[in-house]
Amino acid sequence: MKISELNRNLKEATKGQLIKDIVALYKKNEFVKDYYNSKYCEGNDGALLIKYKEIIEHEFFPVNGFGEARLSVAKKAISEYKKINDNPENLSELMVFYVENGVSYTDCYGDINEQFYLSMEGMYERALKHISSNNLERKFDERCKKIVSDTKNMGWGFHDQLRETYYSYIEE
């Protein structure tokens, strides 16, 4: 169905039907539930942020066993959060947290593959760009610096790229 058809159908529905449909979606779909909780529940940002941080952390350091480091799952958590909540500080938090976990994962398990590092570098750059454009440098500067210093002995030119990225966004 096209958006124009959906709009037409929604305009024809009664308020009661729309409420019933939204409640049904809320009950069946976790993403919809998160969206409405974020939109209408005051102070729910913290709980939502924790939920998405746990998804990321679980990919690298689950409670039991070894992390699979499925970057697609961790990155999807960030993109879903971005669709649900528009708080720039929390989005920055998730992006920095993703890179911190990737760096810790490498530190624990040794060098990973080039694609892993490219993903971390890309997210680090997106995080710094987002932090800079939202004037959040003071909030995240120490953690972003620590990411760079924690990668000094890692391979694939990872440290050099993160260092260059840091100085191009934070200390211009």
Instruction: List, in order, residues 6 or more apart from 150 with CB less than 8 Å away.
Output: 103, 104, 107
Rounded Cα distance between 93 and 86, Å, is 12
AA identity, residue 129? K
Whole-prediction pTM:
0.87
- The pLDDT tens digits for 87-121 are 999 999 999 999 999 999 999 998 888 899 999 99
Largest pairwise CA distance in the chain: 63
> What is the pLDDT averaged over residues 145-159?
92
Q: Pick from 113, 124, 36: which is nearest to 69 by CA?
A: 113
Q: Pick from 148, 153, 57, 70: which is nearest to 110 by CA?
A: 153
